[in-house]
Homo-oligomer: A and B are copies of this chain.
Amino acid sequence: VPTDLSTGIETLKEKLLTMASYSEAAVNHAVKALMKRDDDLARQTREDDEIIDRLEMEIDAVSADLLTAQPDLFAIRFIIMAMKIAHDLERVGDEATTISRRCLELSREPVLPQVNEIPVIGRLALQMLKESLDAFVQQEPLKARDIIRSDDQVDDLNKRLRSELERIMIGNPASVPRCLNLMVISKSLERVADHATNIAEMVVYLYEGRDIRHSS
């Protein structure tokens, strides 16, 4: 564990970006596994999740250590942000695991056409996640603020799919288990977008020193 402050900050940055690419990949694989009905790919997502969990713990350990090195105010903010982003990324990994588990159930049953809505929501959520990390790397709080605004779009898509699935369940009770699985997957992707929003809020906190949570 590094004790030198600037080396430590670099370590945190690298670990965050590694973690981000694993989390993005996990969600990507989970959605792909769903669409291709690829159980092996779905199972692989769970292994990614263990790496993601370990990275969060490493980031927290480096952060606690760095805080003993008398960081200045910006470094303190950076470290706090690193821990918070790591937590959100860890939760993204959990959502990917949830999606994968539901994939395994869905691939044993006939396809419901509503599954085609999932990659649409997935693409938007993953784009928000990617952009929130870009805003962090490029130090662009204004970009981060844009991302926060697109969260409503994902919420709307999720709500619309939810209502449609509810309607289908009522009309065709045999589809209930499949509809429930799709609902959980859609909700998971909506949560991925929520985590991207949290990350974007942290980028604003870091570069503007302003806590904009709960302000909308």
Contacts and interface: CB of A to CB of B under 8 A. Distances in A.
Interface string A55-92: 01100110110011011110011001001100100000
- Max count, chain B CB within 10 A of own CB: residue among A64, A70, A83, A213: A64
Nearest to A67: B76
A26 to B, nearest CB: 15
Interface stretch (A27-35, A121-129, A151-159, A163-171): A163-171
A190 to B, nearest CB: 13
A96 to B, nearest CB: 15
A176 B180 contact: no
Interface residues of A, number: 34
A110 interface: no
A2 interface: no
Contacts of A50: 214
A72 B64 CA distance: 11
B180 A170 contact: no
Contacts of A87: 84, 87
Contact of A64 (B61, B70, B80): B80
A173 interface: yes
Interface string A163-207: 000100111011011001001000000000000000000000000
Question: Which 3 A-B residue pairs are closest in the complex by CB-CB distance?
Answer: A53-B214, A170-B173, A67-B76
24 contacts: A50-B214, A53-B214, A57-B211, A57-B214, A61-B211, A63-B80, A64-B73, A64-B76, A64-B77, A64-B80, A67-B67, A67-B76, A68-B73, A70-B70, A80-B83, A83-B83, A87-B87, A166-B176, A166-B177, A166-B180, A169-B173, A169-B176, A170-B174, A173-B173
